[in-house]
Structure 1
Amino acid sequence: MEAWSYRVRERLRVAFSLGAILLLFSLTAALVRVPMLPDTFFSVTMATIWFINMLQGSLFGMVGLFPPRYSTLFMSGQGLAGIFAALAMLLSILSNSGERSAALGYFITPCVATLGTLLCYLLLPHLEFARFYLNRSQSDNLETKQEVLSSTDMNDLEVDRKFIGEPEESQQRSSVLNVFKKIWLMAACVTCVFAVTLSVFPVITVRVRTVYTDSAAWDKVFTCVCCFIVFNAMDLVGRSAPSLVQWPSKESRVFPVAVLSRVVFIPLLMMCNVQDSRLSVFRHVFRHDGAFVTIMALFSFSNGYLASLCMAYAPQLVRSKDCETAGSLMTFFLVLGLALGASFSFLLGQLV
């Protein structure tokens, strides 16, 4: 009965979060048709995004309660959202639609996606095949728990109970500070990953121009295809890759080195064919379109892969009772990385 009540609460929590996100996206889409100053619309949109990020943080905290592959799926979903936005931008360019129509299309896309997600989530427990696999999963967890009780001592039980899925009332939650002490390295890594990414994408990357200026059609879609679509596609591949291979391991010293090494992408992208660049000496180092696409592909893949590993590793470093706290903390530091990168991008934009 207690486990059933716990599952009901979590389902209501997810449904409420998705419903609130849908409402916020719908509000923003409706405001497109309301006459208002650009600064006012921008402020309202930023406030809406802030609330949406809060709700996503709540959902991500729940992902920490489950095995690492669920974190990978959640990160992959975020990458897929980027592809939707890039394709919407491409369709807007090709259709020559007006600004208001394009903006309306951009905001309606997440409304449809969120509504579909909410309906699928509500429908899933009522499907026979879903009940079959959910019940089988619970049976497997109980059998595993009995095997562990018969073959290990109580100290080893903690590892197996981490992803059993039942609330552990006997455990007390650790303080946020204690949880942070265990995951601080992963928190620093995810902050660094997104700070590096946002410092040059898109403020620098959108200024890169094609060398084939004689082709008006290609010049028109170059930024959308080579910057946004390439980035989001390879970012999605990177976010999905940890479901197949997870290297380096969370204990390896190579992991933070790999995260820090992404700083090299900042000068590499600044050396591409950036329009009106002040660094004219380095402008032609990676002038060709192929060089820019290659750098962007490696840049975006490493972003998705390392970020997904960080989010998957953090809950593994704490007790099962503290996984939700770890997930929420990682979401906070992810957003912190975005904020730091966006702030640093103003400096790089002036430099280039």
Structure 2
Amino acid sequence: MERFQDQIRNSSFTFYIGSTIFCVFALLSFTMLCSLPFYKLVMRSNKKKIISSSQRLSIEGERSTDQLLQSNEYSTEEPFTSTPIRPVNLRTVEPKIRSLGLSVFWVFFVTLAVFPSITGSIISINSNQINPTSTSTFLKNWKHPLIFIPLHFLCFNCGDWLGRIIPQIWSNFSFALIKKKKVLYAMSFSRIIFVPLFLLCNVENSSVVLFRSDFAYFLILSLFAISNGYTSTLLMIAGVAEPSLEPEEIAVAATCMSLYLTSGLAMGSFISFGVKALTTVL
């Protein structure tokens, strides 16, 4: 059995090394792309188009103002003045979506704190009853760690995907939730309950096991995955649908929400080492 556990560790290590190499390659490719003359030319051209478009709108606004002034030359009412295009200030936009941003940060912080560092160490209750050399069918061998652990990845990804499409299926209910920020905050914060729930499952080398059922574990994992996809989707939509945002501030708000999301992923991955260490003392 120890030999197969070593194989699992080696396979997992190889998988994550491959993912890391791919991410580094993607980062280097993006850096090279930004240094290409053609990329700089296209970006410079787009910038000029944006500036010319803004200037055109400003000129049209001034013409409209002149026409209104001429038509109301003898009017005692205050003449119409065009609103100048003002630059969007990040310090003005970020406070408007800060609570929503912290909520989406918390969603992914909790997710990465236990997945896959803890969930990848949870094995079937009946894994000792499986013959590693058996050539029987999948239905008889699915509890073996070589199948059980990859199966949990499939379960999480399917649940996360389902959570992200629920807003399209139950659109009326979902968009009603978007307007209730306190409910969204509660949905985000309540996901912390999954941390002790996973720690009480059959984690490898842990002596404290409360849920002695594979069904209970996969039920917890499914709720964990669905809530991750559903809650994060609602929060991201709510971030750009914030009523206090001006039309020109929406793009900056979306960038801020993405930054909070990325920060949650990074901090969750970092804290996962500490959560993993808890399994050695339980």
TM-score over 0.5 (shorter chain): yes
Aligned pair partner of 2:226 in 287, 291, 301: 301
TM-score w.r.t. the length of structure 1 is: 0.51
Letter in 1 for 2:241: Q
Q: CA deviation at 1:326?
A: 1.1
Gaps of 5+ in 1: 1-37, 55-168
How far, CA to CA, are the matches of 2:185 and 2:17 in structure 1? 41
Aligned pair partner of 2:166 in 241, 246, 265: 241
Deviations 1:156-215 (CA, angstroms, capped at 9, x unpaired): xxxxxxxxxxxxx96434201111011101110110000000000000001111123223
In the alignment, what sits opposite 2:44? none
Q: CA deviation at 1:258?
A: 1.5
SS at match of 1:351: helix
How far, CA to CA, are the matches of 1:287 and 1:293 in structure 2? 12
Aligned pair partner of 1:312 in 223, 226, 237: 237
In the alignment, what sits opposite 2:276? 349
In the alignment, what sits opposite 2:188? 259
Conserved 8 A contact 1:173-1:322: no
Q: CA deviation at 1:41?
A: 7.3
Q: Are residues 341 and 53 of structure 1, via their aligned partners in 2, closer, same or farther at CA, if it must alter by over 3 Å? A: farther
Aligned pair partner of 2:211 in 286, 295, 302: 286
How far, CA to CA, are the matches of 1:196 and 1:51 in structure 2? 29
Conserved 8 A contact 1:190-1:333: yes
Aligned 1:76-87 pairs, distance under 5 A: none
How far, CA to CA, are the matches of 2:268 and 2:197 in structure 1? 17
Aligned 1:155-174 pairs, distance under 5 A: 171-174=85-88
Conserved 8 A contact 1:248-1:255: yes
Q: Are residues 340 and 229 of structure 1, via their aligned partners in 2, closer, same or farther at CA, if it must alter by over 3 Å? A: same
- Which of the two has higher C-alpha Rg? 2
Q: CA deviation at 1:46?
A: 4.0
Conserved 8 A contact 1:187-1:330: yes
In the alignment, what sits opposite 1:270? 199
Conserved 8 A contact 2:184-2:235: no
2:24 maps to 1:47: yes
Conserved 8 A contact 1:171-1:321: no
Q: Are residues 324 and 252 of structure 1, via their aligned partners in 2, closer, same or farther at CA, if it must alter by over 3 Å? A: closer
Letter in 1 for 2:202: N
How far, CA to CA, are the matches of 1:42 and 1:206 in structure 2? 16
Conserved 8 A contact 1:248-1:254: yes
In the alignment, what sits opposite 2:258? 331
Q: Are residues 53 and 210 of structure 1, via their aligned partners in 2, closer, same or farther at CA, if it must alter by over 3 Å? A: farther
Aligned pair partner of 2:148 in 209, 222, 232: 222
In the alignment, what sits opposite 2:74? none
Q: Are residues 185 and 273 of structure 1, via their aligned partners in 2, closer, same or farther at CA, if it must alter by over 3 Å? A: same
Letter in 2 for 1:335: T
Letter in 2 for 1:260: F
Gaps of 5+ in 2: 1-14, 32-82, 133-140
Deviations 1:24-54 (CA, angstroms, capped at 9, x unpaired): xxxxxxxxxxxxxx99977654434557999
Q: CA deviation at 1:300?
A: 0.6
Percent of matched pairs sharing the same residue? 30
Conserved 8 A contact 1:190-1:337: yes
C-alpha RMSD of matched pairs (Å): 2.6
How far, CA to CA, are the matches of 1:320 and 1:334 in structure 2? 22
Q: Hey, which bits of structure 1, 4+ residues long, moved more than 6 A?
A: 38-43, 51-54
Q: Are residues 293 and 50 of structure 1, via their aligned partners in 2, closer, same or farther at CA, if it must alter by over 3 Å? A: farther
How far, CA to CA, are the matches of 1:348 and 1:40 in structure 2? 21
Q: Are residues 39 and 292 of structure 1, via their aligned partners in 2, closer, same or farther at CA, if it must alter by over 3 Å? A: closer
Q: Are residues 197 and 42 of structure 1, via their aligned partners in 2, closer, same or farther at CA, if it must alter by over 3 Å? A: closer
